[in-house]
């Protein structure tokens, strides 16, 4: 079983679990105790909650105080998401650390975990686009347009899964070498954000 064949059902499970209540304050109930499966579940849970926070904050009638609170929550969610991507990359780095690189080995433009991050988001896009396709109150034209978009998303999911699995196979075989860079986000750090350190 490839890595994406393990990851995709976990992402789908998360989205279904969230929609049992469909509420951004629902507590996560991770069925995996530890390991990469637990990290993948937690990663997609963060993405799923944030997806719905992004919907809420776009309400033109939202109270400005509530909007600011949600914006701060989204900022924290983004930091949590980044931290978890780095945790998943550490899993890959540890797993493939001893693999000798071939002389012609190259580095990839993104780390495996950032590609997995996109796969998690894609699962959310597919779920919600399918909702639009099946919306009984939507026009036939709307559903047809959404079906076309869903078809593209499903193709993209297949292509991205193939690319991730190929990247991991290349790393395992020494054709690619893996290097992890920390994101070093500056705006969350009171030592590097001038609005914070100049106060």
Q: In this predicted model, what pLDDT tens digit does every residue of 145-188 receive, in sequence order? A: 999 999 999 999 999 999 999 999 999 999 998 877 766 666 66
CB count in 10 Å sphere of residue 150: 19
Asked if residue 198 has pLDDT above 80, the reply is no
- What's the mean pLDDT when you consider all of the chain? 93
From the list 141, 122, 142, the residue with the least C-alpha distance to 132 is 142
pLDDT digits (tens, 9 = 90+) for 104-132: 999 998 999 999 999 999 999 999 999 99
- Residues 23 and 49: their CA atoms lie apart, in Å, by 8
3-state class (DSSP) for residue 176: strand
- Residues 120 and 168: their CA atoms lie apart, in Å, by 17
Q: Name the DSSP class of 138.
A: S
- Residues 181 and 162: their CA atoms lie apart, in Å, by 24
Asked if residue 8 has pLDDT above 90, the reply is yes
Kindly tell me the sign of the dihedral angle through the C-alpha atoms of 171, 172, 178, 183.
positive
Domain extents for the chain? Answer: 3-197
Asked if residue 49 has pLDDT above 70, the reply is yes
- What pLDDT, on a 0 to 100 scale, did the predictor assign at position 128? 98
C-alpha dihedral over 4, 10, 14, 20, to 10 degrees? 130
Question: Which residues have CB under 8 Å from 147's CB, separation 6+?
Answer: 133
Question: What are residue 67's phi and psi, to 5 degrees?
Answer: -60, -40
Asked if residue 48 has pLDDT above 90, the reply is yes
CB count in 10 Å sphere of residue 173: 13
Q: Over range 75-97, report the average pLDDT.
A: 94
Question: What are residue 182's phi and psi, to 5 degrees?
Answer: -70, 150
């Amino acid at each position: 079983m490839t890595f994406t064949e393990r990851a995709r059902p976990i992402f789908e499970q998360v989205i279904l679990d969230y929609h049992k209540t469909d509420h951004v304050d629902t507590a996560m109930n991770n069925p995996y105790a530890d390991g990469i499966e637990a990290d993948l579940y937690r990663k997609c849970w963060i993405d799923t909650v944030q997806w719905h926070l992004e919907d809420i904050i776009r309400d033109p009638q939202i109270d400005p105080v509530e909007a600011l609170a949600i914006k701060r929550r989204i900022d924290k969610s983004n930091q949590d998401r980044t931290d978890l991507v780095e945790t998943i990359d550490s899993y890959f780095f540890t797993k493939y650390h001893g693999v000798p690189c071939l002389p012609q080995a190259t580095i990839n433009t993104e780390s495996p975990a950032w590609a997995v991050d996109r796969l998690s988001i894609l699962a959310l896009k597919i779920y919600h686009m399918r909702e639009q396709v099946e919306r009984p109150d939507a026009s036939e034209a709307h559903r047809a347009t959404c079906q076309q978009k869903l078809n593209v998303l499903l193709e993209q999911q297949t292509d991205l899964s193939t690319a991730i699995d190929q990247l991991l196979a290349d790393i395992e075989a020494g054709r690619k070498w893996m290097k992890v860079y920390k994101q070093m986000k500056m705006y969350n750090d009171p030592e590097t954000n001038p609005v914070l350190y100049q106060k």
